[in-house]
Structure 1
Amino acid sequence: MAYTITGQCISCNLCVSVCPNGAIQEVEGRHIIDSERCTNCADSIYTVPQCKAVCPTANGCVEQLSDYWENWFATYNRVMAKLTNKQDYWERWYNTYSQKLSEQLKKQQVVA
């Protein structure tokens, strides 16, 4: 399974210089990975794909999913992870807010 360059690429050219197979090229101002030449660095001395390892955006170079359902579940899991994180955020916010509010109400009751 080859890798692909996403829209989050900042064109830093780090991936071009580290690719052991020379699979990354710049075409019309955009970087592309030749899927025929990309081997995920499996036949090299590296344990991880070098394009992903050096990418400063962490999402500029991602694994290209070829199967429709594999892509669907990857998207679903990514969206669910974001929703779960937001749910935790709002739950923590509500708990903090309600605690502060109850403290203020107790102070007002003592004064009155």
Structure 2
Amino acid sequence: MAYTITSQCISCKLCLSVCPTGAVKIVDDHYLIDSELCTNCVGSIHTVPQCKAVCPTANGCVKQPSDYWESWFSKYNSVLAKLTNKQDYWECWYNTYSQKFSEQLKKQQVVV
């Protein structure tokens, strides 16, 4: 599975200099990774793809899904992660709300 450069690329040129196979190219001021040359740094001295390792943005260089189902599950996991974060938000909201509500109940009980 080759890597691809996304729209979050900031054109820092770090991936150009570290790619051991020279798969990173500039075409019409856009950075591209040639899937024919990209080996994910397998067979080199590196244990992780160097374009991904040096990218200053977290999502400037990502794995490109090789088939339909792989891309489907990738999208599914992305959406699921977002939903999980929302759940954390609501759990935090509920805890804050319940704490403030219980404080108000205690104040009312003291007054009575």
Shorter chain as denominator, the TM-score bin is over 0.9
Deviates more, 1:92-101 or 1:67-76: 92-101
For 1:9, the equivalent position in structure 2 comes to: 9
Residue pairs, 1:13-92, within 5 angstroms: 13-92=13-92
Q: Which amino acid aligns with 1:10?
A: I
Q: In 1, distance between residues paired with 2:53 and 2:76?
A: 24
So what's the TM-score if we normalise by structure 2? 0.92
Q: Percent identity?
A: 77
Q: Which amino acid aligns with 1:91?
A: E
Q: How many residues align?
A: 112
Cα drift, residue 56 of structure 1: 1.0
Q: Quick check: 1:110 aligned with 2:110?
A: yes
Q: Which amino acid aligns with 1:72?
A: W
Deviates more, 1:91-100 or 1:54-63: 91-100
So what's the TM-score if we normalise by structure 1? 0.92
Cα drift, residue 111 of structure 1: 3.2
Q: In 2, distance between residues paired with 1:34 and 1:108?
A: 69
Q: Please, which runs of 5 or more residues in structure 2 have no aligned partner?
A: none
Report SS of the residue matched to 2:43.
coil
Cα drift, residue 108 of structure 1: 3.7
